């Protein structure tokens, strides 16, 4: 085994979204050797997915914010960073040994510093019927639109959050009006949120964008239901109808596809695997890694940039990526300028968050699902079973996992982790931080046994550099 | 009872299967019991092991207590009001070569010689019947057809729950610094100053048990190790038995949901200073190779998760069970060297009898702590029972 031949880099970046690309750009500029490992075939992350290849018509549908990502991607392409596309990172350890799979073979690299830029994922939305075929997420619809220009017919949006309105507006721009927008934001939230609105140009700019999206949807005459509760999706074999209460009466809407959304949360799989310290963010109602102002976690030389550090959006992610890389360069003794102005910009970007987090806090229904609602899809564990395990003495998320296998399936808790924490916390009357979150185990994503059997430590390759 | 102070007849340190079982059995004998656990109950090896419940392949020194334990497993509901997920299943140790076959024959002959009949030889065609998916180079096996497997965490939690129902008090997240005499009693002092006092002290601290035996003046050469396990996605049903190999480390079992649990001795790294384990994929790679060579059907499997559990490993691979050799009213049951789960129900019963009545008929002398001298070195050769699996 050629253990000493493993390639070493000054910086390894996981994820080629705005944070990862920005870290690679800044790190390369400072003269550091940088490798970027990304699962997708093209740089851009979720937000700028496939922006390089989007035809002009699609750019028009997806809007300026998406098209603007093209410049960042070009800048990233122009660096001398090693870019490995289609690389699924399946193990990272605190000594910064990183194992990844590409084209059916696994390789290992080492790094002096790591920037985790693995972004956000949609919050799990366990409502009755969410596991039926024909129920997707708003984010999944947008992926189809960005990558393939696909837009679904007869789609109903259910939930809350900026992305819900963005995807609805993009669909309308593509000529497909949604069947309905069923928003779960309680009416009282608007007043509470307005109190959190800062009056600076950055925040007001975001507010104007949001208002414009809502106007687009309203003008399309798509029916909008506000303050919806008691959502139940049902159908024979496949979801065909959603029932809910809005405006004091029951409604029933038929659709071919139902897109759920309750905002996005940090993808914490890598920082959990590394046993970074995390804290419960009450406003975002999720765990976030504990970071210093440069994004460095409790594990030395491990940084988090972008939504993985707490949801802040694409522009903030770009700033965070640059700040992290500058810090790494500084620690490596490179002559780089201070990141003070970047920090100030980051503060401005973050100023809209309290407003959004108040307005679009996840609905009570998904935080405390009905007893018969499946929470862990992989192992088919219901909310009622989880409460029962708590009553039987399982004190936290990991004991519930041991007891019921929830979170032990192929998704390793991505779809149920936060819900399980919330359910246990509610049942015990305890803070979610005490209930804790699943310990995440390698491999981060399922790895073929045959690939592991062939895994010998060879140098990481650069053969997919584009 | 003032805050941070509690008294009972028996103080058990360690909330794994052995601590919980001993506590339950002692409570059934009318003792008041406190269990102190540094983490949460069943956090380490007891809760995350493969769940194999086997007599097959054991060292003959362990066989009487293993058989006793098995009788408890078969009627588990009667003891803890929970079946603990116990299912009867064959445990099969497969031979891959002629020399392995010789080991098989010798093993089963030794089993007979020691007065047991639970282990039998399977020839190649019998092996095919039980394990149709085994590769053609598997020539035969020795097996116990009525061993089984259970759900580890569910089991320990059931013991804890039943013990609590009988009045046992559990202190979790309570690390113990010091065990010392205080008059006729034992005083057990936590890291944060919490104090416990009891007439009897029982060390069930698993991989951490060596610290307490050291404080009693009888150190043992225990080594914490981190055996690795992995589990695959759901596979089409191909196997009902718990399988291992005569001469290569492997243990494999398909669960009722179709996932395949793979373990059997490959070790991960201990994270220095933490006593937690980390996967060593270069070692796990060997396990993957072994699985594929024996079960071609597994070439379609994907590993969903890999983990380690911390075990206390003694050089002769036998646990320490019995009285302290240096102190009155102190007892040990730790260091089960990766095969303690099945023994838990039986050993707890034996320890409770020993503590409550002052003696037991169970043959526990091979596990006496005096087999290591007080420098921690082994003073007696391993009981001449041949190898165990």
ipTM of the complex: 0.90
Over residues A391-447, the pLDDT tens digits come to 998 889 999 999 999 999 999 999 999 999 999 999 999 999 999 999 999 999 999
Q: How far apart are CA B340 and CA B319, in angstroms?
A: 8
- Indicate which of A94, A449, A450, A458 best probes the interface with B, i.e. most B CBs within 10 Å of its own CB: A449
Distance from CA of A410 to the nearest CA of B (A): 5
* Contact status, residue A6 vs residue A460, Cβ threshold 8 Å: yes
Question: Helices in A48-199 by DSSP H: which ranges?
Answer: 56-62, 64-67, 69-77, 138-148, 162-173, 189-194
**Chains A and B: how many Cβ contacts under 8 Å?**
89
> What is the average per-residue pLDDT within A228-235?
97
Within 8 A of A379 by CB-CB distance, chain B residues are 257
**Is A5 buried (19+), middle (13-18) or exposed (0-12) by CB count in 10 A?**
exposed
Residues belonging to chain A with any Cβ–Cβ distance to chain B shorter than 8 Å: 1, 91, 93, 99, 379, 392-396, 399, 402-403, 405, 408-410, 412, 441-443, 446-450, 452-453, 455-457
Answer yes or no: is pLDDT of A279 > 60: yes
Q: Residue B380 has what pLDDT?
A: 54
Q: Residue B195 has what pLDDT?
A: 96
Q: What is the DSSP letter of A5?
A: G
Q: Residue B384 has what pLDDT?
A: 43
Q: How far apart are CA B220 and CA B215, in angstroms?
A: 11
Nearest Cβ partner for A99 among B281, B303, B305: B281
Q: Residue B4 has what pLDDT?
A: 72
* Contact status, residue A83 vs residue A75, Cβ threshold 8 Å: no
What the block records as the tokens of A310 is 């707490």
pTM: 0.92
Residue by residue, pLDDT tens for chain B (389 residues) are 345 789 999 999 999 999 999 999 999 999 999 999 999 999 999 998 999 999 999 999 999 999 999 999 999 999 999 999 999 999 999 999 999 999 999 999 999 999 999 999 999 999 999 999 999 999 999 999 999 999 999 999 999 999 999 999 999 999 999 999 999 999 999 998 999 999 999 999 999 999 999 999 999 999 999 999 999 999 999 999 999 999 999 999 999 889 999 998 789 998 877 778 899 998 999 999 999 999 999 999 999 999 999 999 999 999 999 999 999 999 999 999 999 999 999 999 999 999 999 999 999 999 999 998 756 566 555 544 445 66
Nearest Cβ partner for A442 among B47, B279, B288: B279
Over residues A53-98, the pLDDT tens digits come to 999 999 999 999 999 999 999 999 999 999 999 999 999 999 999 9
**Is B387 buried (19+), middle (13-18) or exposed (0-12) by CB count in 10 A?**
middle
Q: Residue B273 has what pLDDT?
A: 74
Q: How far apart are CA B248 and CA B95, in angstroms?
A: 10
Residues near B43 by Cβ (< 8 Å), separated by ≥ 6?
B15, B37
Q: Residue B272 has what pLDDT?
A: 74
C-beta atoms of A402 and B153 within 8 A: yes
C-beta atoms of A447 and B279 within 8 A: no
Nearest Cβ partner for B303 among A393, A394, A449: A449
Q: How far apart are CA A105 and CA A175, in angstroms?
A: 42
Distance from CA of A227 to the nearest CA of B (A): 39
C-beta atoms of B303 and A447 within 8 A: yes
Over residues A383-400, the pLDDT tens digits come to 999 999 999 988 899 999
Within 8 A of B307 by CB-CB distance, chain A residues are 441
The backbone region for B40, taken as left when phi is positive above 0, alpha when psi lies in -120 to 50, beta otherwise, is beta
pLDDT: which is higher, A363 or A233: A233
Give the nearest chain A residue to B282 (CA atoms).
Answer: A456
Answer yes or no: is pLDDT of A108 > 50: yes
- DSSP letter for each residue of A396-438: SHHHHHHHH-TT-STTTTTTTHHHHHHHHHHHHT--HHHH--P
Based on DSSP, count helices (H) and strands (E) in chain A, helices before strands: 18, 22
Q: Residue B385 has what pLDDT?
A: 46
- Cα–Cα distances (Å) from A96 to A38, A178, A337, B269, in that order, read 17, 46, 26, 15
- DSSP letter for each residue of B155-167: HHHHHHHHHHHTT
Q: Residue A269 has what pLDDT?
A: 97
The secondary structure of chain B in percent helix, strand, coil, rounded to multiples of 5, reads 30, 30, 40
Q: Is the bond into A443 cis (omega within 30 degrees of 0)?
A: yes
Alpha carbons within 13 A on the beta-carbon side of A280: 15
Q: Residue B164 has what pLDDT?
A: 98
Within 8 A of B161 by CB-CB distance, chain A residues are 392-393
Within 8 A of B282 by CB-CB distance, chain A residues are 1, 455-457
Q: What is the mean pLDDT of chain A?
A: 94
Residues near B78 by Cβ (< 8 Å), separated by ≥ 6?
none
Q: Residue A124 has what pLDDT?
A: 93
Distance from CA of B290 to the nearest CA of A (A): 8
> What is the average per-residue pLDDT within A127-140?
96
Distance from CA of A2 to the nearest CA of B (A): 12
Q: How far apart are CA B23 and CA B17, in angstroms?
A: 10
Q: How far apart are CA A107 and CA A101, in angstroms?
A: 6
Report the run of H or E that residue B108 belongs to, with start and end: helix B98-113
């Amino acid at each position: 085994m050629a253990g000493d031949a493993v390639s070493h880099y000054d910086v390894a970046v996981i994820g080629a979204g705005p944070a990862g690309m920005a870290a690679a750009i800044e790190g390369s500029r400072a003269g550091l050797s940088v490798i970027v490992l990304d699962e997708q075939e093209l740089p851009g992350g979720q937000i700028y997915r496939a922006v390089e290849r989007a035809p002009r018509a699609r750019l028009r549908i997806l809007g300026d914010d998406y098209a603007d990502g093209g410049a960042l991607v070009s800048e990233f392409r122009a660096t001398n960073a090693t870019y490995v596309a289609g690389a699924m990172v399946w193990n990272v350890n605190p000594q910064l040994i990183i194992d990844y799979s590409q084209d059916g073979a696994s390789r290992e690299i080492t790094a002096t510093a790591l920037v985790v830029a693995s972004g956000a994922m949609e919050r799990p939305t366990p409502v009755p019927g969410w596991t039926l075929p024909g129920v997707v997420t708003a984010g999944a619809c947008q992926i189809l639109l960005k990558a393939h220009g696909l837009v679904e017919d007869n789609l109903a949006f259910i939930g809350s959050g900026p992305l819900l309105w963005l995807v609805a507006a993009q669909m309308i721009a593509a000529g497909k009006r949604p069947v309905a927008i069923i928003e779960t934001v309680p009416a009282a939230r608007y007043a509470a949120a307005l109190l959190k609105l800062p009056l600076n140009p950055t925040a007001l700019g975001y507010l104007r964008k949001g208002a414009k999206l809502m106007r687009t949807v309203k003008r399309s005459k798509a029916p909008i239901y506000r303050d919806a509760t008691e959502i139940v999706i049902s159908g024979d074999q496949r979801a065909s109808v959603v029932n809910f209460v809005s405006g004091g009466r029951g409604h029933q809407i038929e659709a071919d596809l139902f897109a759920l959304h309750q905002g996005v949360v940090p993808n914490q799989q890598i920082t959990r695997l590394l046993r970074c310290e995390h804290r419960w963010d009450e406003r975002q109602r999720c765990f976030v890694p504990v970071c210093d102002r440069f994004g460095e976690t409790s594990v030395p030389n491990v940084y988090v940039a972008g939504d993985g550090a707490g949801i802040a959006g694409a522009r903030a992610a770009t700033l965070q990526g640059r700040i992290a890389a500058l810090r790494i360069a500084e620690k490596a003794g490179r002559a780089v300028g201070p990141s003070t102005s970047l920090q100030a910009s980051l503060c401005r970007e973050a100023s809209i968050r309290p407003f959004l987090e108040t307005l679009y806090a996840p609905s009570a229904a998904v935080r405390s699902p009905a007893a018969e609602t499946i929470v862990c899809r992989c192992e088919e564990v219901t909310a009622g079973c989880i409460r029962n395990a708590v009553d039987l003495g399982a004190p936290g998320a990991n004991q519930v996992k041991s007891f019921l296998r929830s979170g032990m399936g192929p998704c390793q808790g991505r779809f149920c982790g936060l819900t399980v924490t919330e359910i246990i916390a509610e049942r015990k009357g305890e803070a979610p931080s005490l209930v804790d979150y699943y310990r995440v185990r390698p491999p981060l994503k399922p790895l073929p046994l045959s690939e592991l059997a062939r895994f010998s430590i060879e140098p990481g390759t650069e053969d997919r550099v584009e | 009872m003032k805050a941070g102070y509690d008294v009972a007849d028996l103080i058990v340190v360690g909330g794994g299967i052995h601590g919980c079982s001993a506590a339950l059995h002692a409570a059934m004998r009318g003792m008041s019991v406190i269990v102190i656990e540094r983490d949460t109950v069943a956090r380490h090896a007891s809760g995350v092991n493969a769940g194999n419940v086997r007599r097959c392949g054991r060292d003959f020194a362990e066989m009487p207590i293993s058989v006793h334990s098995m009788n408890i497993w078969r009627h588990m509901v009667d003891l803890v009001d929970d079946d603990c997920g116990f299912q009867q299943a064959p445990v099969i140790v497969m031979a891959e070569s002629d020399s392995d076959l010789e080991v098989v024959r010798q093993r089963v002959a030794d089993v007979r010689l020691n007065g047991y009949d639970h282990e039998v030889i399977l020839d190649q065609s019998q092996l095919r019947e039980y394990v149709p998916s085994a590769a053609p180079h598997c020539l035969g096996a020795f097996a116990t057809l009525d061993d089984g497997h259970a759900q580890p965490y569910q089991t320990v939690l059931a013991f804890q729950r039943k013990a609590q129902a009988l009045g046992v008090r559990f202190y979790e997240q309570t690390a113990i610094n010091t065990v010392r005499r205080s008059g006729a009693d034992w005083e057990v002092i936590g890291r944060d100053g919490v104090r416990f006092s009891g007439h009897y002290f029982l060390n069930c601290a698993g991989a951490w048990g060596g610290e307490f035996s050291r404080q009693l003046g009888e150190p043992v050469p225990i080594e914490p190790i981190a055996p690795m396990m992995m589990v695959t996605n759901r596979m089409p049903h191909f196997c009902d038995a718990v399988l291992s190999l005569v001469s290569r480390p492997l243990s494999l079992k398909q669960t009722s949901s179709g996932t395949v649990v793979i373990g059997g001795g490959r070790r991960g790294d201990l994270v220095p200073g933490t006593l937690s384990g980390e996967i060593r994929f270069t070692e796990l790679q060997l396990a993957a190779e072994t699985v594929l060579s024996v079960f071609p059907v597994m070439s379609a499997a994907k590993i969903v998760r890999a983990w380690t559990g911390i075990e206390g490993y003694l050089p002769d691979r036998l646990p320490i069970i019995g009285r302290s050799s240096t102190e009155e009213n102190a007892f040990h049951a730790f260091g089960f060297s990766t095969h303690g789960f099945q023994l838990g129900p039986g050993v707890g019963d034996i320890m409770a009898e020993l503590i409550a009545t002052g003696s037991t008929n169970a043959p526990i002398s091979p596990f006496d702590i005096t087999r290591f001298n007080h420098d921690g070195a082994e003073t007696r050769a391993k009981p001449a029972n041949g190898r165990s699996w």
